[in-house]
Amino acid sequence: MSILTILQTLAPIDAKNIRRDDLLHWIIAAPVAMALAVRWLISLLLGRIEEILHIDLMAYYVPFSSFMIILLVPYLAGLVIGFLLLDQRDDGTLTALQVTPLSLNGYLIYRLTMPMLVSIVMTLVAAPLSGVVNVGIVQLLLTAICAAPLAPIFALLLATLAQNKVQGLAVTKVSGIILIPPMIAYFINAPWKIIFGIFPTYWPAMALWNAQAGNATFWFYGGIGLVYELFILALLTRHFNHIMQQ
C-alpha cells in the first residue's frame, strides 16, 4: 500500500479515537497552553518570588523554560501515539493488520512518522509563543528536527512497557525522569558531562542551549543527537515488531 493510502485509511481512525478520549484532548492542547503559561504566567510568578526571597531565579528561567518547550512537545506527541497504540493493541487492531493488505511495517512507518511531523510543527508554533526560545528560525527548525525522534521513542516505550492505559499512566510518570539529566548537565562545566548523552533528551537540549549562546557546537550536538535518537528508535521498533509477531 502507498503512503497516501495508509494515511487515508488510518488518519480518520486516529481522529475518531482522539475525539472520544478526553485525556488525548488535553495532551494535544498542552503545548500551546504550556507556551502561553511560560510567556505570561510563570515569568510573573518567578518575578514575585524573587522580590520576596531575594533570589535570582530569572537567570535560569530562559534556559530551562526553553528546554521544557523543546522537549515536552515531542514528549506529549509521543504520549498521544503511545496511548493510541495501547488502544489498538487492546482492541485487536494491530493483530488484525497482519492479515490485511496493510502490513505491520507499513503501519509502524505511518504511526512513528506522524508524531515526528506533528512534533516539528507544534514546536515551531509553541516556541515563538513562549517568548523564551531566542534562536533564529533555521536553528529552531533544526533543533525541532533533532528533538522530533523523541516522540516515537516515547510512544514505543509506552506501548512496549505498558499492557493497558492504567499501566501507561504509570510508565508516563516514570519516563518523564529522562527529562531531568540535561538539567543536571547544564550546571556541569566539564568535558565528562557528555556521559549524560546516554539519555536521548541530552542532545536536543544541548543543541538548543548552544544555539542560544551562539556556539558553533550547536551543529555537533544536533547532528550526533539526531543519529543517536534514530538508532534508539530503530532498536525500539524492532523490539515492538517482535512483540507483535509473537
What's the grid cell of residue 150? 523523541
CB 183 within 8 A of CB 208: no
* Residuewise pLDDT in 10s, the chain (246 residues): 555 666 666 666 666 766 666 656 666 777 777 787 777 777 777 667 666 766 676 777 788 888 888 998 898 888 888 888 887 776 666 665 555 666 667 777 887 888 898 899 889 988 888 888 888 899 999 999 999 999 999 999 888 888 777 788 888 888 778 888 998 998 888 889 999 999 999 999 999 999 998 898 999 999 999 999 999 999 998 888 777 666
pTM: 0.85
- Helix 3-19 to helix 22-36 angle (10° resolution) is 90
Task: Say how far apart CA 55 and CA 37 lie, in whole Å.
Answer: 21
CA distance linking residue 30 with residue 235, whole number of Å: 29
Query: What is the pLDDT, as a whole number, of residue 20?
Result: 66
Query: Do residues 66 and 130 make contact, with C-beta atoms less than 8 angstroms apart?
Result: yes
Instruction: Measure the CA–CA gap between 185 and 149, rounded to whole angstroms.
Output: 21
Angle value at C-alpha 153, between 148 and 159, nearest 5 degrees: 140
Read off the C-alpha cell for 233: 528508535
Q: What residue spans define the domains of the chain?
A: 3-244
Q: Which of 153, 83, 158 lies closest to 116, judged by CA?
A: 153
φ, ψ of residue 169 in degrees (nearest 5)? -65, -40
